[in-house]
Amino acid sequence: MSPPPPSVLLIGTLAHTTAEWEALSSKYTLLSFRSGARAQFLANCRDGTYAGVRGCYRSNVSTALTGPFDKELVDALPESWKYVAHNGAGYDNIDVAACSARRIAVSSTPVAVDDATADVGILLLLGALRQAHEPLVALREGRWKGKLRLGHDPRGKVLGILGMGGIGRAMAHRARSFGMKIIYHNRRRLDPELEKGAEYVSFEELLARSDVLSLNLALNANTRHIIAAPELAKMKKGVVVVNTARGALINEADLVAALESGQVSAVGLDVFENEPEVHPGLVKSDRAFLLPHLGTSTIETQRDMELLVLKNLQAAIDQGKMLTLVGEQKGLDWAPEEADL
């Protein structure tokens, strides 16, 4: 008698890949938790409902159902659970350390989001440089240009990128076409073929030299409030700050103070520290070009993200590998190898 097929769990819903998910029924037992609350999910984990589950598909959106994948939840997962395939480039709502302690591998979707997020980053960069908020509002209110404030050209400006991963490199590629000089800081320098002429600098030099600072790094305990009052004070007076990563990388209150003082001339933000709440100082500022977390909000990118999660889940179950393992787990002696994309 052949063993039963592996079980996989979908947490939440799919918008673009329902057919691909259902096709997996040919080799897996498909389970789902499409609605409910954290207490029910935890009960399911503990009462045997998910006994035999090898891995799951979850997303930032599904956090509304289960709450964060924190230590309490991770410790409640059945022993069979070895993989978390996450939909999102950011995964700060997953306690990766707790997963690692349980030898549960976690993947994210960094590759699928690069272009769409960088496109929004450039939109924010240009909107902030050109002081576009006030004229946009004035036009709709029948005031034509309103209290027009002259902006700046990107040409010749120094774009400092904090976090030169896939999104940061896509941002640099686009910015070069505007004649911007690229400098960057990472935990380690990139290979020259990935730098494409960008200059690797220290964190302190990045702050001191950037005309525009773009944040393109993950949020974790080490990067929370990596930009706060001390860092803002080290920047050029009139610097522009762009953030498409995670709002809590910046101390929002300190950013508002710097904006009000003129130390920061403008900001372009797609993410906020306490989403969906936005600091009132940002909302009222006519030098804040703001979007409500639209970085990956395209049909093509959303589908690509969902497909990558499903591919991660299949590679994990079928090969014991993941395509896009999170950085914190790479190199651990128990962690699965990465399969080729």
By annotation, the residues acting in catalysis are 246, 275, 293
Beta bridge partners of 181: 158
Contact 42, 74 (CB under 8 A): no
Amino acid at 337: E
CA distance 72 to 112: 30
Which parts of 181-302 are beta strand (E)? Answer: 181-185, 199-200, 212-215, 239-243, 264-269, 288-290
What letter does residue 159 receive in the DSSP assignment? Answer: E
Contact 324, 108 (CB under 8 A): yes
Handedness of CA 185, 186, 189, 190 (dihedral sign): negative
Which is it for strands 105-107 and 83-87: parallel, antiparallel or unpaired? Answer: parallel
CA distance 99 to 65: 19
Cis peptide before 6 (omega within 30 of 0): no
Handedness of CA 312, 27, 303, 306 (dihedral sign): negative
CA distance 13 to 327: 26
Q: How many CB atoms lie within 10 A of CB 333?
A: 4
Handedness of CA 213, 208, 180, 133 (dihedral sign): positive
